[in-house]
Structure 1
Amino acid sequence: MRTRFWRQRTNIISATLTLIASLLLTGCFGNDEEDWNGKNISGLMPELEFDLINSQGKSVSGDDYSGRVRMLFFGFTSCPDVCPTALQKLNQVTSGLDPELQDEVLTLFVSVDPKRDTPERLAKYVDFFGDNIVGLTGKEPQLRELAKRYRTTFGYDEPDADGNYAVSHSSAIYVFDREGNPRLLMRPDLSGEEIRHDLAALIQEDA
């Protein structure tokens, strides 16, 4: 169990470093005129676009959630620590915004483990972490295409004797503005206050 845990954690760190390295090779992280805590990815990533199913089993696209600042995060419900830690932090971040700003932010949690993460299971999982979060998933080819779109990847470890397996994935959080334009890449080491500062600035910028 401990070996599988550390292998998963290593894979997550590796996937995140690969993503950040690919952005660095592209050039600068954009124009940092604003005092952002996250990395400015304006113009370095495509706009928010996907065709998946939500935790109610309905087909949805990126346009269905337009009008709000959106945070996109890849993970899976069986994740032992990285996913719940990140989602708890994001819930605290949005809950800590001024009341009139809280509904202006939405977290999109994309499960890359469709074999286990049914819509019903996703619904129970995301509901635990607050109201302003949507669970999404799809068929594996769709999920791989979406991950590739944002220069990351995911993979599955070999199942153990009980059929359990770990999933490697990026721990980065992508932030898009109301129009779906890519704006920021949030590293997992940022504090909740740093993320909140950036979200508030984006909300007020687009108001």
Structure 2
Amino acid sequence: MSKSLTQPFPVLLQKFFTQRLLLQQHVSHCTVTAYRDSFRLLLAFAYQRLHKRPSNIAIEDLNASFILAFLHHLERDRHNCIRSRNARLAAIRSFMEYVSSEEPSALATVRSVLAIPMKRFEQPLVGSLSREHIEAILAAPDMETWTGQRDRVMLATLYNTGARVSELLEMRVADLVLGSTSWVQIHGKGRKDRSVPLWPDTASLTVS
């Protein structure tokens, strides 16, 4: 560790999760989990390549050359797709931005890592289902069972609102308003909430 740094890497990493992500940015549990998994892979790679345990790693070890080697390892050895590779890099870059504010003396290392570009990739066009296919999916759950009723409500809500699965899992009873005009509050990524009206058929499922 450089003598100019007042906080070692383990301390900075812990503060990044406990202070920056949770207290300051209030990121979602899914984001924290994704970042945690990214650093688990990074630390395991550091032990394999540098023969250093997490407690002995220095910020200078995480230079651009090392991070590029880690990203190459993800694609070549772990067979990660470009999207996953970019997600791991996003977690590392977020940490490095935090380091730049906490330890300005590490700016040279930080800048070298932040200069690593995301990989471009083609996003396939998302197809669509016909009305007949949608109706078949909604009719698939067995309404004679509790799990079937639950699944029917979940599928209808997803179709009605366009919510992500993660957003559906975050919904609570208090987010649902039933009445002459029914709607549900959806808690999106980045604390971006939105209210979405419910169709009468969807609303009726929630009270049946």
TM-score calculated relative to the size of structure 1: 0.25
Q: Which has the higher helix share?
A: 2
| Structure with larger Rg | 2
Q: Normalising to structure 2: TM-score of the pair?
A: 0.25
The answer to which structure, 1 or 2, has the higher relative contact order (CA under 8 A, 6+ apart) is 1
Q: By percentage of residues, which structure has more strand?
A: 1
